[in-house]
A and B are shown apart, each in its own frame.
Chain A
Amino acid sequence: MNWEVIIKYLPKLLDGAWLTLELVGIAVVAGLILAIPLGVARASQRWYIRAFPYGYIFFFRGTPLLVQLFLVYYGLPQFDIIREGPLWAYLRSPFWCAVITMTMHTAAYIAEIIRGAIQAIPPGEIEAARALGMSKWQTLFYITLPRATRIGLPAYSNEVILMLKASSLASTITLLELTGMARTIIARTYLPIEIFFAAGLFYLLISYALVRAFKLLEQYLRVDACQGR
């Protein structure tokens, strides 16, 4: 092991780690916002409301993230409308392509988590809310969603860790996040084992920090207290 090289390139790897955190942070928050309507619609009783989220989730969960990234970053410029359209300023940048694709990808998974959480709520609680005279929307915002948040939180924290690992794919569309940065450094130093080892340590550290943070959030929301049904 050549430790001096690792120490020498530590600042570069930190830059990469920061970009990784940015990508993951935006994707999981925006993905959650996008997933709430998708998940609620997916849990609907009516087939025409269920149909679109079903197809969306099927496509994004059935194909690799790499294909989705390539479709957006390399694929979309095939069409003149995109290249002359107002969104071209964003769609030509690898950063925004990665953010958009990762958001849409993770939204599909989070929507499934939300659907599972909504369906796990005991029907009696929703009936109780309706019996107290709450409207459908009141029931959704005061009973269904807060309850589903607590049921779905552990699965959501898993999804965030999975997205942290998936963000390494952004290196294939030229972004210099942790993996991309490691590959660039290796192209210069020819020391793959040392640099990948260091990058792997960064990923382990970040996921450890995320796990701890979600544990604290679970304590704050008293997830345990809600499990006794």
Chain B
Amino acid sequence: MRRQLTAVVSFAFVATNGAVLAHHSFAMFDQENPIELEGVVQEFKFTSPHSFIILAVKQQDGSTQLWSLEGAAPSALVRDGWSSKTLKPGDELKLTIGPLRSGAPGGSWSVSKTKLKDGQPILVSQ
């Protein structure tokens, strides 16, 4: 079920880059050659050691491919005003990600490069 996030402008927050705050190497994600993705949140995993956005991305042939996107730890996201409820299944997002070097549907996501599909920032609280 889709949920339209209210396009309320959030205050300024510290941009959270998953690679900067990772407790392990993020080198498997190609940060030098980022790609744009649009899709629908299937699941927002607010879990340790890293958060995940499982994103359903429509393919050209009409099928859907699930992308596994790794981000900052929940404790780091909370310090940026995020919570386990910031994203919900059905949210439509536009992201710039660092893709897996293997070409498989996975990558890294970051707060600063994640917006609603219409370009508005994600609503957070603080």
Asked if chains A and B come from one complex, the reply is no
Q: Which residues of B contact A (CB under 8 A)?
A: none
Q: Which residues of A contact B (CB under 8 A)?
A: none
